Each structure stands twice: as structure tokens, then as C-alpha cells.
């Protein structure tokens, strides 16, 4: 854990074969990161851009594109899981996430089946199955968690989605209690941050409204909902925390979301910037500050729910698009 006093964890939002074989172990040993996450966009960059996969691709040549994709992804996830297993066994997170096929986002049964299959095939206890927070996704999250499989609920942009995840996880915990379980699998609710600001900042700057704040405030509002529910096996995870451009410092979305019992999964350059920072201290805020901020946003005719809906659709589309590009290249 990066900060034991705060119970704050820093996870690496990056998976690539040569990185796993080299720098990743050092980050774990130095207790900078204690888990990692992946998604179709990350795998797209790795599989199509890195020479480290040439040998593995040759071994599965001639198979169906999705089978090749899974073979490459599973090998990476197994490697990461092995490196993180000691952290997991010590109770220091130690998770690695893999996302189900993004085209299954509206099919609960297919998501459950794929999640079960991936978890079993990978064969490590510290794997989290990543499920988009759609209506079908809530059903799948509940089913997987109630079967003892760790879950990463992803693409969360709204308080409504956050509550949907919490309800699913609470039902799963109740099912496990009824079965007499004394321990519960872990779940994280991945709240996406920076995409709000990339979408809104230009518009907000034009009306002299503070920029670079909507994603932060929205994430804190969702975080408060999670903490208030108090599920012992569920934590808030801040995702999409990399910075594009030079208007914000590289570690902005880590520094501004440094709160108790939370996780931040960040790209490598963001992690390096945070580690090099001269001063790191927890933020201070109140629910009233958040409420006042969003009241002011609404007064300036910003429809936040509409923005959330757009971002969800854009997020799903981006992962589907990355998945299609991978499969096309692997034919």
C-alpha cells in the first residue's frame, strides 16, 4: 500500500509484456504500486505496437482472432498475477484486472459466462474480472462476486451507476452470508475522472467557470456514496487519471484525489510524476463544497447527467473500437 496511514493504494494502469518482465517488479518491490489494471485500449497498444509479442503470436497463428487475443492477454495477466501474488497473500491488494469482451456489455448471461471462464483459465486467485457498469453489468457483477470472484466495476461516471454497483455487491455479500461464508471477495468501483474535464473545460473556460474540477468533484461525490455504504470488501478506485496536455501537472488527478481508503490507477508517467512530487498530503473537502459546486454548474446550464450519459456511451464505444482493431490486426 502506498500510504498505510490513509489506506491509499496506487495501481498501475498499464500492462505490456516487456514492462511486466522488467520495471513492474521494481515498482512492486519499492512499494510504489501494489496492483495493476488493463482494458482493451491498453491491450491494443501493447499487442499491436510492442515487438515483445512476436513469439507468442507465432505460437497461436491460424487460430480465430479472439482466441489469439485471449491467449496474449491471458499470458500477460498470468505474469502480472504471479508477480502480485505475494502482495495479495499478505492482504495488500495484489490484484490484476482483465475486462470481459466489451461487446457483451448488454448481455448479463454472456458476461457471467466469460467472466467465469477467464477467471478459471487464468488460474490465479488475485484476478479481478472487469465489468462495465451497465444494467446487464450490475447483474453480472452480483453473480460473479457471489461466486467468490473479485470484480472491478468499470466505466462509472455517475452517482446512479455507483449506487447500482453498491446494490449489486450488497446482494452478493448477502448471498455469501447465507452460504455461511466468513470471507468475501474484493470489489472496486472504478470512477472515471479526467474525461469530464476534457469534454467540458473549453466550454467552462468560455464562461469563466473553474476548469479541471468537474471530474474531481464528481469522483469525490461518488466516493462519498461508497464510503457511506461501508461495505467492507468494496473500495472506490479513481480511473482515467492521466493528464493530456500541459495545462495541469502530470500527477494532478492523484494529488487532488488523495483520500482515505481509496485507490488510484494511473499510467506510468503519472505514477513517476507523483513519486517525484516534493509534497504529498491528503485533500480536505466537505459535502457542502461538492453540493455548492454542482449547484453552480447547473446554474450555468451544464446538464451533468447528460454529460455522464455521453461519456458512458463514448467509453463503451472506445473499448469496442479498440477490441475490433485488435481482432482485425490479429486475423
Q: Give pLDDT tens digits for 164-222.
A: 999 999 999 999 999 999 899 999 999 999 999 999 999 999 999 999 999 999 999 99
Residue 214 has what pLDDT? 98
pLDDT bracket for residue 51 (50, 70, 90): very high
Q: How far apart are CA 246 and CA 249, in angstroms?
A: 7
Radius of gyration of the chain (CA): 19
Q: Which regions of the chain does DSSP assign to beta strands (E)?
A: 9-12, 96-99, 127-132, 150-156, 187-192, 234-239, 262-266
Cell numbers given for 49: 505496437
CA dist 256 to 162, 240, 241, Å? 20, 13, 10
Reduced to 3 states (helix: H, G, I; strand: E, B; else coil), residue 201 is helix
Reduced to 3 states (helix: H, G, I; strand: E, B; else coil), residue 128 is strand
Phi-psi region of 245 (alpha: psi -120 to 50; beta: other; left: phi over 0): left
Q: Which residue has the cell 447500482?
A: 164
Residue 62 DSSP symbol? T
Residue 246: is its pLDDT beyond 90? no
**Chain Cα centroid distance, residue 89:** 21
Segment among 39-43, 214-218, 276-280, 289-293 with least mean pLDDT? 276-280
CA dist 4 to 9, 177, 226, Å? 8, 29, 20
Share of the chain above pLDDT 90, in %: 95
Residue 279: is its pLDDT beyond 90? no
Taken in order of first residue, the domains within the chain and their CATH numbers are 9-329 (3.20.20.70)
What is the pTM for the complete model shown?
A: 0.97
Which residues are identified as catalytic? 130
Q: Are 184 and 176 in contact (CB under 8 A)?
A: yes
Amino acid at each position: 500500500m502506498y500510504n498505510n496511514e490513509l489506506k491509499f493504494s496506487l495501481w498501475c494502469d498499464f500492462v505490456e509484456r516487456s514492462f511486466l518482465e522488467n520495471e513492474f517488479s521494481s515498482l512492486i518491490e519499492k512499494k510504489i504500486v501494489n496492483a495493476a489494471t488493463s482494458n482493451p485500449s491498453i491491450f491494443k497498444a501493447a499487442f499491436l505496437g510492442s515487438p515483445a509479442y512476436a513469439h507468442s503470436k507465432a505460437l497461436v497463428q491460424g487460430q480465430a482472432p479472439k482466441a489469439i487475443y485471449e491467449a496474449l492477454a491471458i499470458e500477460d495477466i498470468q505474469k502480472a498475477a504471479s508477480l502480485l501474488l505475494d502482495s495479495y497473500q499478505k492482504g495488500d491488494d495484489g490484484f490484476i484486472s482483465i475486462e470481459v469482451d466489451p461487446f457483451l456489455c448488454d448481455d448479463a448471461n454472456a458476461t457471467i459466462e466469460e467472466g467465469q471462464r477467464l477467471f478459471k483459465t487464468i488460474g490465479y486467485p488475485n484476478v479481478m474480472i472487469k465489468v462495465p457498469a451497465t444494467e446487464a453489468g450490475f447483474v453480472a457483477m452480483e453473480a460473479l462476486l457471489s461466486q467468490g470472484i473479485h470484480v472491478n466495476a468499470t466505466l462509472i461516471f455517475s452517482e446512479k451507476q455507483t449506487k447500482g454497483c453498491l446494490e449489486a455487491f450488497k446482494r452478493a455479500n448477502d448471498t455469501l452470508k447465507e452460504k455461511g461464508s466468513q470471507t468475501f471477495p474484493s470489489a472496486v468501483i472504478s470512477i472515471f475522472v479526467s474525461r469530464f474535464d476534457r469534454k467540458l473545460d473549453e466550454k467552462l473556460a468560455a464562461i469563466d467557470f473553474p476548469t479541471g474540477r468537474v471530474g474531481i468533484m464528481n469522483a469525490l461525490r461518488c466516493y462519498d456514496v461508497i464510503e457511506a455504504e461501508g461495505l467492507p470488501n468494496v473500495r472506490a478506485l479513481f480511473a482515467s487519471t492521466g493528464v493530456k496536455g500541459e495545462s495541469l501537472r502530470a500527477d494532478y488527478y492523484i494529488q487532488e484525489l488523495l483520500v482515505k481508503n481509496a485507490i488510484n490507477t494511473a499510467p506510468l508517467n503519472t505514477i513517476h510524476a507523483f513519486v517525484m512530487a516534493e509534497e504529498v498530503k491528503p485533500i480536505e473537502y466537505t459535502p457542502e463544497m461538492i453540493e455548492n459546486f454542482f449547484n453552480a454548474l447547473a446554474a450555468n446550464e451544464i446538464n451533468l447527467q447528460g454529460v455522464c450519459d455521453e461519456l458512458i456511451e463514448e467509453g463503451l464505444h472506445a473499448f469496442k473500437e479498440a477490441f475490433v482493431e485488435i481482432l482485425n490486426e490479429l486475423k
